[in-house]
Amino acid sequence: MSWTDERVELLKKMWGEGQSASQIAKELGGVTRNAVIGKVHRLGLSNRATTTSKTTEAKEKSAAAAAPAPKPAAAAPKPKPQPKTEPARPQTPAPAATSKPSLPARKQIIPAGQPLPPQPSANEISPEALAKVNEIEKKAKKLTLMELTERTCKWPVGDPATEDFWFCGLPVQQGKPYCEAHVGVAFQPMNNRRDRKR
DNA sequence: CCCTGATTCGC
DNA sequence: GCGAATCAGG
């Protein structure tokens, strides 16, 4: 794969959006995150109030309040002259919890992201599968939405409207979005569900 | 251990 | 120019 205009553009876009190199790499396909990072650097667009950094100190502190350095040397045209801090982080303002008096103040609202898997509540699912789920849910990592990764089980547990809500977070089964136990209840062969056999 | 970006250097 | 290997921090 080569860095075509389109790919570079997508790279720029995603990088600008604060996407991680690995995410960009996955999106682009055919490249590794190393390739992405390398390209990012070659393109000159790098710093971004990132996470890791050993080179932090190497930063110029000139652009603090005033710009005393005229710098006539126009060798590095920065497309981003603005002192942007960080990509906007969706911060939960202050949700007023009035619905459930029995609950303590709501601390955080989990934004409903993508379609949630069907909660099997008390369905006709393999009893042993259910048992397994109940078992592992005790060991669940109880991750928040933002803590989920590609290899953490994304099975939601509890009521999203309460604090008693989290994602399983256990290691996923290869290729699946859920851990083994939850895969078991998530992907039913749709068998003994009453077909339209009638 | 998982992740992140940064740098180096042979190609 | 490219990106794997390596490094380094969280």
Other Cβ atoms closer than 10 A to A151:
14
Contact, A50 CB vs strand C, < 7 Å:
no
Residue numbers 133-172 of A with CB closer than 7 A to any atom of strand B = 149-151
Percent of chain A with pLDDT strictly greater than 70: 52
A167 beta partners: A143, A156
CA dihedral A90, A54, A27, A11 (to 10 degrees): 90
What's the pTM value of the predicted model, to 2 decimals? Answer: 0.44
Using one digit for the tens of pLDDT, what is the confidence trace for A182-198?
A: 877 777 665 555 554 53
CA dihedral A91, A51, A143, A25 (to 10 degrees): 110
Q: Which residues contact A62 (CB under 8 A, 6 or more apart)?
A: A68, A69
Contact, A53 CB vs strand C, < 7 Å:
yes
Contact, A47 CB vs strand B, < 7 Å:
yes
The single-letter code of the amino acid at A138 is: K
Contact, A111 CB vs strand B, < 7 Å:
no
The single-letter code of the amino acid at A48 is: R
Using one digit for the tens of pLDDT, what is the confidence trace for A42-56?
A: 998 777 654 443 333
Give the DSSP H/E element, type plus range, for residue A92: none
